[in-house]
Amino acid sequence: MNIVEQTEQKIKDEIVEAVVKAELATEDQIPEVVLETPKEKAHGDYATNMAMQLARIAKKAPRQIADDIVANFDQSKASIKNIEIAGPGFINFFLDSTYLTELIPTILKDQQEYGKGNAGNGEKIQIEFVSANPTGTLHLGHARGAVFGDSLANIMEKAGYDVQREYYINDAGNQMNNLAKSVEARYMQALGQTDFEMPEDGYHGKDIVELGEKMAKEYGDKWANESEEARVEFCRQYGLDFLLDRIKKDLEDYRVPFDEWFSESSLYEEGKVQQALDYLKEQGYLYEKDGAVWFRTTDFNDDKDRVLIKKDGNYTYLTPDIAYHQNKFERGFDTLINVWGADHHGYIPRMKAAIEALGYNAKQLEISIIQMVNLIQGGEIVKMSKRTGKAVTMVELAEEVGLDAVRYFFVMRSNDTHLDFDMDLATSESNENPVYYVQYAHARICSMLRQAKEKGLEPSEDADLTLIQSEKEIDLLKRLGEFPQVIGDSAVKRTPHRVTQYIYDLASDLHSFYNAEKVINDDQLELSKARLALIEAVRITLSNAMKLIGVHAPEKM
């Protein structure tokens, strides 16, 4: 806990103490203490609504209760300067802010570690995200999910969760047959058999055409002369290898690493799918109807039952997915987070039903839904890529606006609102662009530090930090102190955009401070040293926060 968290804890403890001493309620009657930072500075540094919450229990008017609490409150415990009662019964605490300067040595010492917390308490979490079928190139929609999942993983790790990042490779099932046939067709076409037909549900994208041409160049007509079966089989592997490699590369370029690339076909090889089916059957959740095998998901709040084995004997896509999730739990995760596109939300009830049928709690599977992205250029929605006429790819987007902007914009907004991605804004080098705004704050600090160094000044915790006391400085310190709690909150609520918002706020405080106070001042050497330590603490915090969302913190702009 940093000094801010400690102080808040002390105040909370004291409130409970005071309530008990005033005989307003017994300790186990007291609701959880809510200590908030009021929007209005006139309402103090902290406020609690305890008096209102106790009105019913103590059977007294809130303002009377507030009086009793304050009368029994030991002000000497925290750095409290003054306590006021206001409004319907709020108790407002005014603190002597000098204690906040203790944050500076803490941050300078912690460096990259600053912000770490234990909200997650070591809970084992798996985040599965992107997991696009290896039948093509990653597109715009995948990009938001990739950035969301990666940022969330970073934040949860920082908040004390034990996080594993996983990509599920759908390398079995019908879509792979389609891919194999599509590659085959494009290969044969590349060899001159222009009338070789694409499968009905084939992948008509330009990427598969290129893939066929590449194969023709590498192998000539070798596979044209093999049996169809052998040729299709080769095409399947060739296509999969190529497309998966490209997916991996695209994600790497987006600064999105994975711990595990989990293959669907490995579930079949290890008999996991059959085992899952056997298990469900033993539990009595399966039945036959119309020649198919059904799973009674309606026992678990789904609107209708689902087919697991089709009339033709093939599995539906739900079947290996059940085995997959069973396998995830067998690997020891407490909670699974799946990041899905909005078009899959209808799939949630049946997946949760499966989790329960497998003997786990539906709450152990969380689904984060990523809403649609609209690209906006020149005030209009960009429907298709100019280059290919197809959906805009992940790579194209990053080439167009820069990766920092892409990452920032994707975690700037809540994942469950539709996102209008304004490409003109993302590329504009002006104060309208929030990416530049926050990066500029970091570069500005670095610039000051460079100039100080030329004068022989380095940030150090040995500076006289009691000189830090102007309003803008205190605002900065308060903001720095919030950081671990922002991370904890963002992690617990699975809302990475809160961190982005924090970054913006901290940058804003820094710019405001910069314009109000001079850091390097030859006439006030001691103050300069103290402020250098302060801005170094800001730099460290900014840099740590930006790293969580995968945006670079430049030293110069």
Partner RNA sequence: GUCCCAGUAGCUCAGCAGGAUAGAGCAACAGCCUUCUAAGCUGUGGGUCGGGAGUUCGAAUCUCUCCUGGGACACCA
**Given the complex with RNA, which of 148 and 223 has the nearer CB atom?**
148
The residue range among 100-108, 157-165, 173-181, 385-393 that interacts with RNA, by the rule CB under 7 A, is 173-181
In whole angstroms, what is the distance from residue 504 CA to residue 490 CA?
15
Rule CB under 7 A: choose which of 99, 268, 279, 347 binds RNA. 347
How open is the CA angle 20-24-25, to the nearest 5 degrees?
70
Rule CB under 7 A: choose which of 174, 193, 274, 524 binds RNA. 174
Interface positions, 497-536, toward RNA (CB under 7 A): 497-498, 501, 504, 508, 511-512, 514-521
Interface positions, 114-133, toward RNA (CB under 7 A): 133
Rule CB under 7 A: choose which of 67, 299, 366, 420 binds RNA. 420
Rule CB under 7 A: choose which of 1, 42, 71, 384 binds RNA. 42
**Given the complex with RNA, which of 66 and 357 has the nearer CB atom?**
66
CB 349, min distance to RNA, A:
7
Helix, coil or strand: residue 194:
coil
The residue range among 110-118, 144-152, 354-362, 423-431 that interacts with RNA, by the rule CB under 7 A, is 423-431
Rule CB under 7 A: choose which of 195, 218, 282, 312 binds RNA. 312
**Given the complex with RNA, which of 228 and 303 has the nearer CB atom?**
303
In whole angstroms, what is the distance from residue 333 CA to residue 336 CA?
7
**Given the complex with RNA, which of 282 and 454 has the nearer CB atom?**
454
Tokens found for residue 269: 């090889």
Which residues, in sequence order, are bridge partners of residue 91? 48, 85
In whole angstroms, what is the distance from residue 78 CA to residue 532 CA?
28
Rule CB under 7 A: choose which of 41, 249, 345, 386 binds RNA. 345
Give the end-to-end CA distance of the chain in Å, rounded to a whole number.
35
Helix (H) or strand (E) holding 294: strand 292-295
**Given the complex with RNA, which of 217 and 289 has the nearer CB atom?**
289
**Given the complex with RNA, which of 149 and 320 has the nearer CB atom?**
320
Rule CB under 7 A: choose which of 237, 274, 301, 417 binds RNA. 417
Interface positions, 291-310, toward RNA (CB under 7 A): 291-292, 303, 307, 310
Interface positions, 68-107, toward RNA (CB under 7 A): 86-88, 90, 92
Rule CB under 7 A: choose which of 44, 120, 145, 239 binds RNA. 44
Phi, psi of 274 (to 5 degrees): -60, -40
CB 52, min distance to RNA, A:
4
**Any idea what DSSP says for residue 346?**
G
Q: Does 179 bind RNA (CB under 7 A)?
A: no
Q: Does 317 bind RNA (CB under 7 A)?
A: yes
Helix axes 3-21, 103-110, angle to 10 degrees: 130
**Any idea what DSSP says for residue 443?**
H
In whole angstroms, what is the distance from residue 351 CA to residue 329 CA?
14
**Given the complex with RNA, which of 157 and 264 has the nearer CB atom?**
264
Interface positions, 181-240, toward RNA (CB under 7 A): none
Nearest to 483 by CA among 163, 109, 33, 158: 158
In whole angstroms, what is the distance from residue 145 CA to residue 63 CA?
49
In whole angstroms, what is the distance from residue 398 CA to residue 426 CA?
11
Q: Does 59 bind RNA (CB under 7 A)?
A: no
How many helices and strands (H and E) does the chain possess? Answer: 19, 15
In whole angstroms, what is the distance from residue 290 CA to residue 297 CA?
17
CB 511, min distance to RNA, A:
3
**Given the complex with RNA, which of 193 and 314 has the nearer CB atom?**
314
Rule CB under 7 A: choose which of 137, 170, 189, 393 binds RNA. 170
CB 515, min distance to RNA, A:
4
CB 557, min distance to RNA, A:
4
**Given the complex with RNA, which of 387 and 418 has the nearer CB atom?**
418
Question: Cα Rg for the chain, rounded, in angstroms?
Answer: 29
Buried b (16+ CB within 10 A) or exposed e, 436-470: bbbbbbbbbbbebbeebeeeebebeeebebebbee
Looking at beta carbons, which pairs linking 453-456 to residues 24 or more positions away fall under 8 Å? Answer: 455/520, 455/522
CB 89, min distance to RNA, A:
7
Tokens found for residue 138: 């990653």
CB 120, min distance to RNA, A:
13
Rule CB under 7 A: choose which of 108, 226, 492, 547 binds RNA. 492
Q: Does 391 bind RNA (CB under 7 A)?
A: no
CB 529, min distance to RNA, A:
12
**Given the complex with RNA, which of 106 and 316 has the nearer CB atom?**
316
How many residues touch RNA under the rule CB under 7 A: the total is 88
In whole angstroms, what is the distance from residue 27 CA to residue 16 CA?
7
> x/- site string to RNA, residues 369 to 388, per CB under 7 A?
x-xx----------------
**Given the complex with RNA, which of 104 and 438 has the nearer CB atom?**
438
Tokens found for residue 229: 């079966």
Interface positions, 258-297, toward RNA (CB under 7 A): 289-292
Task: Say if residues 463 and 532 touch (Cβ distance below 8 Å).
Answer: yes
In whole angstroms, what is the distance from residue 168 CA to residue 317 CA?
13
CB 225, min distance to RNA, A:
31
Q: Does 343 bind RNA (CB under 7 A)?
A: yes
Interface positions, 437-466, toward RNA (CB under 7 A): 437, 440, 443-444, 446-448, 451
Residues near 554 by beta carbon (within 8 Å), at least 6 away in sequence: 439, 442, 443, 446
In whole angstroms, what is the distance from residue 393 CA to residue 550 CA?
19
In whole angstroms, what is the distance from residue 549 CA to residue 149 CA?
10
